[in-house]
Every structure is written in C-alpha cells, then in structure tokens.
C-alpha cells in the first residue's frame, strides 16, 4: 500500500507544486504591500486584491485536488497506463484505497496549510492596521446577523474546516464510485455519461439529506457538535463508497 500511495502522490505532484508557486507569489505581494502601507492606505487596493487572490487559490486548490484525483482514476481505468497498474500484484481494494488515501491526505495537508497561512495573514493585517478589536467586533456583528450562536472560536473554526474537507472527500468518493460503475457496467452503452452523472447527483443528494436530517434531529445542541457529527457522517459515507466501489472494481475490472 505504501508503494501505491507514493506512486499516487507522484502523479499529482506537478499540480500541487504549481499551486504552491502561485500561492508564494500572491503571498509575497500581500506581505510587501502590507508593510509598505502608510497612514493614507496607499497600498490598500493591492492588499485587498492579493488577499482575495489568496482566498480563491485556497478554495480552488482544494477543489482541484479532488477533481484531479477523479480524472486520474478515470484515466487509470481507461488507458494502457491504468491497465499496467492492474497487472501489478495488487488487488482492487489496495489500488482504490491508495487513491482514496492520497486524496484524503492531500486535502488534509492543503486545508491545514491554507488555514495556518490565513491565520498568519489575518494576524499581520489586523496588527498592521492597529484596529484589531474594532474590526473583529464588526466582523462578529455581521456573522450574528445570520446566526446568533456563532462565536467563531477555535473549536468552531476547526470543526467547520474539518466538515468542509470531509464533505468534499465524500463527494470525491461518490465520483469514484460513479466512474467505476460507468467503466464496469455502462461502458459502451448509450447515454453512459448522462446516467453516470445522474447517479452521482443522486448519491450526493442522499449524503446531504442524511446530514440535514441529523442537523434537524436535535441530537446535537451546538454548532460545533453538529459540524463534528456531519463530518463523521461524511467520513462513514466515504468509507461506504470505497468498499462498494472496490467490490465492483474487483468483480468487473480486475485482470
């Protein structure tokens, strides 16, 4: 499994290095413009633009990590390169497991990296402006307009990030399953793509329904506990998709 995991990490390394380079450039622009700012706010436009770009890079990077994993799986099941992978002495559970593990590990590392980077940049920004408490107060008042229970403490922020990452991992696992079903059972049939897409949408809706029912059930009494429970549901859903998809792959696609 470790050899397969290293192989999967190498296949997705190029895109991650590109995103890291773009992030570094945007971060340098943000920091330089922040420290060159005078009392008249001569670099405020640059600060705002670079901060927005950094946020978009973080969101786009995490989304593309999942999309790249989906395309990699699809290529491995439909090209000679993927056929050679199945010729190795590895079963379908190991092959798919390494892909799931690579995606989960990449999402966790990317999420942690961008969280720490954002925390650093916000701290530097508020410190430089010298109005930390007042700006934070305005921000919290804005959030309370939507939900008075939001406190945005460390537990809530971390649980929110964890919930977003695990839910995205679950969506990727659904896409894995749908793509495997497409290659194994629908290959060459009319409307293969349409049926696969509908199958993917239905499974994604089912995940959202389960999470919404849990949130409305009253089992969880705080925002933090609700987010944690939704994360657990997403992880269990991912594990379920993995075992079902691996079973289909092992039966219909193994050499």
pLDDT at 145: 61
Rounded to whole angstroms, how far apart are CA atoms 160 and 230? 10
Residue 148 structure tokens:
């008075």
Query: How far apart, in whole angstroms, are the C-alpha atoms of residue 211 and residue 216?
Result: 9
Rounded CA separation 128/149 (Å): 30
Query: Quick one: pLDDT at residue 133?
Result: 57
- Cα separation, 71 vs 12, in Å, equals 11
Domain ranges of the chain: 1-130, 149-255
pLDDT per position as a tens digit, 95-143: 888 889 999 999 999 999 999 998 888 888 877 766 555 666 666 665 5
Which pTM value belongs to this model? 0.85
Confidence at residue 142, expressed as pLDDT on a 0 to 100 scale: 58
What residues of the chain score a pLDDT lower than 50?
none
How far, in Å, are 178, 214, 233 from residue 37 at the CA level? 51, 48, 46
CA–CA dist 226, 219 (Å, integer):
8
Cα–Cα–Cα angle for 127, 129, 135, rounded to 5 degrees: 90
């Amino acid at each position: 499994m470790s050899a397969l995991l290293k192989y999967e990490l190498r296949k997705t390394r190029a895109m991650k290095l590109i995103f890291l380079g773009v992030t570094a450039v945007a971060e340098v622009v943000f920091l330089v413009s922040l420290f060159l700012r005078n009392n008249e706010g001569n670099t405020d436009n640059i600060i705002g633009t670079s901060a927005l770009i950094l946020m978009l890079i973080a969101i786009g990077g995490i989304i593309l990590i999942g999309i790249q994993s989906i395309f990699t799986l699809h290529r491995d099941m439909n090209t000679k390169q993927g056929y050679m992978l199945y010729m190795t002495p590895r079963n379908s559970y190991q092959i798919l497991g390494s892909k799931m593990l690579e995606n989960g590990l990449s999402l966790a590392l990317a999420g942690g990296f961008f969280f720490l980077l954002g925390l650093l940049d916000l701290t530097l920004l508020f410190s430089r402006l010298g109005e930390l408490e007042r700006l934070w107060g305005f921000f919290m008042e804005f959030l309370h307009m939507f939900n008075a229970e939001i406190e945005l403490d460390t537990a809530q922020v971390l649980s929110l990030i964890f919930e977003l990452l695990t839910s995205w991992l679950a969506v990727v696992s659904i896409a894995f399953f749908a793509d495997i079903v497409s290659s194994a059972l629908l290959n060459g049939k009319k409307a293969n793509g349409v049926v696969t897409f509908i199958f993917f949408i239905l499974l994604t809706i089912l995940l959202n329904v389960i999470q919404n029912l849990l949130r409305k059930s009253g089992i969880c009494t705080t925002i933090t506990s609700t987010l944690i429970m939704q994360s657990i549901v997403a992880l269990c859903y991912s594990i379920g998709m993995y075992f079902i998809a691996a079973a289909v792959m092992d039966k219909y696609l193994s050499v």
